[in-house]
Structure 1
């Protein structure tokens, strides 16, 4: 019922939803146990952050979904799967997101996400035809960028773990990143969101640059940080802020 309200809101408002509509996703028990938390969620997170059009509601739903998968918050994923679908993320895009995040957050997180999402997909009549192909025609490879990435990884880590170097090249960058079911910008978006949610800002420089090369703007990246402060916590976001600042400053030069 709560997510049906969201569906109506998204359908009527296009990309915007009211704080009251988003509040429907908050369990009633939160207000009974922590009324101040409920007020912050309604007045600040829903009425202000989600309403900020710097980042679309669709992108916010995808970023939130990625953060929940990363943090193994499977108990919240059914509701946020519904929210993302109602915001315009397709079943194929969510499927591809958890496949992608298995490599960046761990197999267990992706498996738990799939288990939480399965009843939602069943209830909505999602079939195998709605999901990404197992062996699709891959997107074109940016050979120059891949050669630079491979050279960096080879020079730094070939003597540490050739297996990691090889599978990073063959499975991730010559296969996973080229799958067409998730646009390159969205794939980068969920990767950066996952790194922030996992508290791994040291991995962000490469991926935030890649995200911006794929079309994410600086304003959108900044809005993503503000959004994730609520879902991953202020300490993780403040750990990511210096990395984001350095990326922005270097790209401005």
Structure 2
């Protein structure tokens, strides 16, 4: 029998429920099998981490969604979609997150996430009018930054795969990253969250720097790492920490 007690407990938190009510919700099959895990969940993850003021509940819901999608954890995804919507993430933003992360975590993860979300959208009456336009007016491009990115990628990889160079330019940075349904800060944030969850810290330098250029603060980035330790695991976060440290220090110097 599937249980979604974690997301149910968090849903209570978004409505101002007490820690006792959250704890009561967590009395489940988890507690019957691993009472210590239930205690860590109640007291530490839900009682402390999710309540941390360094990162908003909305942002925590969005980065958790990105991590679960990246890890193909679709059984729990529907409940976290409910949580994200209740925390202020719009249906259009979640839809655009799926589309965006298809390019960073793979088409299979994206289609599986969409299938898991469909019943939630149907139950909430989300229609096509609530979702991003297929061909919206794109945000203005930073021509100087894009020229520098293109020069680096082309210089390094044109003789390896010109197809990757071309599609990266035309599909990702001249199109996907300019779609307005997800703010640049949030688009960068979910990309970093996905890279951490996938265990690909070597790709973080560019994207974490871009996230901070787009408005993510160092405090928020640090809180995101702490939050994702529970969903991606401590080893993946510790692999990401040196990269984050380098990015933070480079911005100070």
TM-score bracket for this pair, using the shorter chain length: over 0.9
Equivalences for residues 67-146 of structure 1 within 5 A: 67-146=67-146
SS, match of residue 89 in structure 1: coil
What is the CA–CA distance in structure 1 between the aligned matches of 2:219 and 2:150, rounded to whole Å?
Answer: 30
CA displacement at 1:183 relative to structure 2: 0.2
Instruction: Tell me which residue corresponds to 2:48.
Output: 48
The answer for the alignment partner of 1:205 in structure 2 is: 205
Question: What do residues 23-46 of structure 1 show as CA deviations (whole Å, max 9, x unaligned)?
Answer: 577582111111110110110001
Moved over 3 A (4+): 1-9, 17-27
Residue 147 of structure 1: aligned partner: 147
**Counterparts in 2 of 1:195 and 1:20: CA distance versus 1, 3 Å:** farther
**Partner in structure 2 of residue 225 of structure 1:** 225
Q: TM-score, normalized by length of structure 1?
A: 0.94
Equivalent position of 2:195 in the other structure: 195
RMSD: 1.9
In the alignment, which of 10, 14, 25 is matched to residue 14 of structure 2? Answer: 10
Once the two structures are overlaid, the 10-residue window that deviates more, 61-70 or 1-10, is: 1-10
Change (3 A) 1:36 1:220: same
Instruction: Render the CA deviation track for 1:37-57: whole Å, top value 9, x for unaligned.
Output: 011011000111111100000
Gaps of 5+ in 2: none
Give the Cα separation in 2 of the matches to 1:149 and 1:23: 48
Deviation at 1:5, TM superposition (A): 7.4
> Quick check: 1:18–1:47 contact (8 Å CA) kept in 2?
no
TM-score by length of 2: 0.94
Structure 2 matches for 1:26-41, cutoff 5 A? 28-41=28-41
Please state how far the C-alpha of 1:9 moved relative to its aligned partner: 4.5
1:59 is aligned to 2:63:
no
Q: Give the equivalent residue in structure 2 for 1:167.
A: 167
Tell me whether 1:182 sits opposite 2:182 in the alignment. yes
Question: Does the 8 Å CA contact 1:20/1:42 hold for their aligned counterparts?
Answer: no
SS at match of 2:138: coil
